[in-house]
Amino acid sequence: MRLKLVTATSMLALCLFTAAESAEINQDGADAVKETLTKLLPDDLAKSGFITVNPAGTRYEIIYDLAKLLTKGDPATFTINGLTPFSTFATPLDNGLWNIDGNDTFNVSGHFKDLDQKQTNFTYSIASIVYSGVFDPAISYLRSGTFAVKDVKVASKSEAEEVHASIASMDQKLSSTDTAGGNGRIDFVGSASMSGFVEQVSGLQMPPLEIRASSINVDAKVNGLPAKQIREMIFFMLDHLDEKELSAENTEKIKAIAKEAFPLLTLFSETIGVNDLTVTNEMGKGGAKAFGYNLAIDGPSDAMRFGFGMNAQEISLDTPLMPPKYAPFMPTNFDFQLAVPSLDFASFGDALMKLDVNDGAPEKAGEEMAKKLFRDGRVAIDFPKISAKSQVYDVDMTGRMEGRVDTQKDYSMEATILARDLDKTIAAVQELAKTDPDLNQVSFGIMMVKGFAKTDPDGRSRWDVSISRDGSVAVNGQQIKGPDGPDQDQGLEPDEEQEPDQGQDAVPAPQQQP
């Protein structure tokens, strides 16, 4: 689900508005609105009559009869029943904006056949679709809006698979303000919530599967969006959709629009939270009390930061595939966050402006532009937080890795690893090794690692790990591996490799005190 999506009913009415006049509501005005809505459509669609606009008191009623778009279809290949007309009401305002609102239901069924002539039957119903908002013709998008959907049910059935899904309710909100600075850009903020999500899937090649979530919440923000320029680019592409090659004049025109649009945004963020998630099939049941996802892009155009993360709390797994003795090692909580800083979208935009849109080698051009994202070909990845916790371990890590986009050898890393109750972890592994002797090596390895650890004031074991570009490795300031020899990068045969210098690989030191 994405907050930029609104109900199909409202967007179909809005996406082609280009002007608004607060003149008297009459048939001439209704005809003008209809012409506006259909002028970018192919002639056969524009003349199909699926859009009708009528004066309705102080507003216009826009009626969509989508069934008229299907009259030329082959009923043996695709059939839909119950597709009744629906309406969107649009009221022009004195400031050039439009108030829009609607209240509909949706209940259809039918079938379609794939390329192998295998038939799928479907039903799709929404008990209530209610929406209202303020539409801005200058950007062909909503300035604000609220949307509420109740009791969604979807089902499909074919020879190979059967799917049932339902949502008790969905609510969305959208608001916007002009970006500070008066440059014509817009900041959007949106939120959405969904309750009572259930999906059930079964088929010939898979056992029954059920996914449930009591609620799903989404928050999103976009700052500095050049909405007007994006609208112009979309309309330009629609106008020239049938052209195999752009003229020199049109090429310069689209580049000018794109140049004005850059940077496309100054911030984008999205977070999704899923509560009481469960996944059930014949092999058992698993899930989490809460599952989260986040994505963010922000910063100046020549040094933008891309961030991504996932986390889960109170993870559970009940399956015979998990032997009871291994259950304590199953993570109950995890958090994974990474970021890529200093992305140079300014240079990327400059390279895009120089791109020949009629060039027959787009892949090569794409590679060159991608290189512009990273200064001097160097890339860095930050790990603000990586953590996992179970009944027998509790580990956190932060770090940073740097390297080059054109090689896998030239890299470095700095990381800090913290572990709580390490003796408890060792004891659990040793107990498990009584029935699985192979784990003795794991136990021995953890004890060796413990030998390098420092102890923090809170009692956690700590390792500050440093891997240099020359291949040397140090833990808590103690070198455990020296630099790579010059022969290691020259592909020498094993018998030509030199023995490591004496003392190059260190023996773990006794555990140090803080």
Across 21-25, 364-368, 469-473, which has the greatest mean pLDDT? 469-473
Residue 429 in any domain: the answer is: yes
Would the pLDDT of 99 be above 90? Answer: yes
Q: In whole numbers, what is the pLDDT of the chain averaged over residues?
A: 86
Q: What is the pLDDT of residue 167?
A: 98
> Which range is least confidently modeled, 356-370, 379-393, 451-465?
356-370
Domain tally, the chain? 2
* Confidence band, pLDDT 50/70/90 cuts, at residue 300: confident
Predicted TM-score (pTM) of this structure: 0.83
* Confidence band, pLDDT 50/70/90 cuts, at residue 357: low
* Cβ-based burial of 99 (10 A; exposed 0-12, middle 13-18, buried ≥19): middle
Q: What is the pLDDT of residue 366?
A: 60
Residue 208 in any domain: the answer is: no
* Distance between CA atoms of residues 198 and 276, nearest Å: 12
Question: How far, rounded to the nearest angstrom, does the alpha carbon of residue 142 sit from its chain's CA centroid?
Answer: 22
> Which range is least confidently modeled, 88-92, 299-303, 311-315, 325-329?
299-303
Q: What is the pLDDT of residue 510?
A: 43
Mean pLDDT of 239-252: 84
* Confidence band, pLDDT 50/70/90 cuts, at residue 364: low
Q: What is the pLDDT of residue 504?
A: 42
> Which range is least confidently modeled, 25-29, 159-163, 297-301, 509-513?
509-513
Q: Give pLDDT tens digits for 189-232.
A: 999 999 999 999 999 888 899 999 999 999 999 999 999 899 88
Q: Which two tokens stand for residue 290?
A: 């809460």
Q: What is the pLDDT of residue 178?
A: 93
Of 469 and 367, the one with more pLDDT: 469
Residue 401 in any domain: the answer is: no
- For the chain, the maximum distance between any two Cα atoms, rounded to a whole number of angstroms, is 94
> Which range is least confidently modeled, 33-47, 93-107, 221-235, 288-302?
33-47
Q: What is the pLDDT of residue 263?
A: 83
> Which range is least confidently modeled, 299-313, 389-403, 496-510?
496-510
CA dist list (Å): 404 to 341, 377, 380, 513: 14, 6, 8, 37
Q: Which two tokens stand for residue 70?
A: 């299907």
User: Which residue segment(s) compose the domain that 247 sits in?
Assistant: 227-264
Would the pLDDT of 20 be above 90? Answer: no
Residue 244 in any domain: the answer is: yes
Q: Give pLDDT tens digits for 57-82.
A: 999 999 999 888 887 778 889 999 99
Cβ density class 100-115: b for 16+ within 10 Å, e for less: bbbebebebebbbeee
List the one residue out of 312, 386, 385, 372 whose CA is nearest residue 342.
372
Mean pLDDT of 271-300: 96
Would the pLDDT of 35 be above 90? Answer: no
* Confidence band, pLDDT 50/70/90 cuts, at residue 23: low
Q: What is the pLDDT of residue 365?
A: 63
Residue 385 in any domain: the answer is: no
Residue 101 in any domain: the answer is: no
86 close to 51: Cβ distance less than 8 angstroms: no
Q: Which two tokens stand for residue 250?
A: 């049109």
